[in-house]
Structure 1
């Protein structure tokens, strides 16, 4: 059941004020709009499809609220009381808020839409909007955020693995992904070929790579220079 307007400034009482993962792996939709009736409508619409929603009257309240560890998106009104949604879009990025943004406005125009989209907005809706259009946009935004989070998690895991390598193993890895043979690496690092093989095996094990192409892909993700050292 959708609660009445008097209780829609936020749904924080449903899950509490503590950030973390939501039951059932649910995603979160945040809403910033100074119009209580719009917050009420979006609160009911989002909850009708089983998503968690948090609504706010101002950007300040949104920034102060601990964010959930879940795929998220933000529905943001362009014109807020005494503030600009477009300006807050930039502020949010500077504050590390990277979730997709869907803009809504009762005063939209082409110039405003172009500015919002160039700044990274995912979509733009004029009030009144069709419920299904909004739900489709939310689903797309949440999918994109889930993909971003998955990619960032994979990269963080990769960096943790790389951090376990010794300095020598990193040197060997760099030359391996540059395409050098063991005997070439041995010559370059003034090591025996047997020692290079041991280091190479440790690199493959610690990086969780079963093939050279996989190790090369991971090196690319880490930004490791794959150029062979120039011969003197």
Structure 2
């Protein structure tokens, strides 16, 4: 897995330098950008990391950056900082999806805690996404007949009822059920139902 990067975006060079040095001391890999537009133009938002951005910058604002990353379905968490903070601005930032909102001068401990929290949540989302992709791959390995059995099992049909619907013997259905459970790595029908909900085959 790629090493997470902290992307610092601030139009003031002194702020970029100070934050970069501070985060370097804490062991983070850092990249700096003068504007949100430059960041979006030069950086791949699918990279692992966390954005630390000023709210007020030339061009796209920090809040607009959060909204744009959301639109691009980027998993990058964003910590917004501002020297002109007020309650409405903080509320707008959090509503837009920012991980945290911190006033300047930035407290080192508060910023590091926010970055770590954002990275942890992003990592958890990545694990969940990978898990869902694996689940889809498992389902794709089912044959057409196994998918038919899968759909009926999660709807609560017994093997006898499935056999009647598919014009198969109960013994054959039982064999298909075993294959479905093995391919889906489900230890029980309840587990299979939970998988079906995640796959969108059932409504919770």
* TM-score under structure 1 length normalisation: 0.81
* 1:92–1:68 distance in 2 versus 1, CA, 3 Å: closer
Equivalences, count: 203
Q: Which is worse superposed, 83-92 or 59-68?
A: 59-68
Q: Are the aligned partners of 2:46 and 2:76 in contact in 1 as well (CA < 8 Å)?
A: no
Instruction: Check if 1:88 corresponds to 2:88.
Output: no
- Which of the numbers 47, 58, 61 marks the counterpart of 2:24? 47
In the other structure, the counterpart of 1:11 is: none
* TM-score under structure 2 length normalisation: 0.91
In the other structure, the counterpart of 2:43 is: 65
- Which of the numbers 101, 109, 121 marks the counterpart of 1:144? 121
Q: Are the aligned partners of 2:10 and 2:57 in contact in 1 as well (CA < 8 Å)?
A: yes
In the other structure, the counterpart of 1:218 is: 195
* 1:122–1:66 distance in 2 versus 1, CA, 3 Å: closer
* 1:135–1:119 distance in 2 versus 1, CA, 3 Å: same
Instruction: Check if 1:185 corresponds to 2:186.
Output: no
Q: Tell me how far apart the structure 2 counterparts of residues 85 and 226 of structure 1 sit (CA, whole Å).
A: 37
Root-mean-square deviation (CA, aligned residues, Å) is: 1.8
The structure where helix makes up a greater share of residues is 2
Per-residue CA distance 1:17-73 (angstroms, 9 max, x = gap) = xxxx43xxx322212111111111221222222222221112232223235753x22
SS at match of 1:80: coil
In the other structure, the counterpart of 1:153 is: 130
Q: Tell me how far apart the structure 1 counterparts of residues 170 and 142 of structure 2 sit (CA, whole Å).
A: 19
In the other structure, the counterpart of 2:112 is: 135
In the other structure, the counterpart of 1:38 is: 15
In the other structure, the counterpart of 1:78 is: 55
Q: CA deviation at 1:148?
A: 0.6
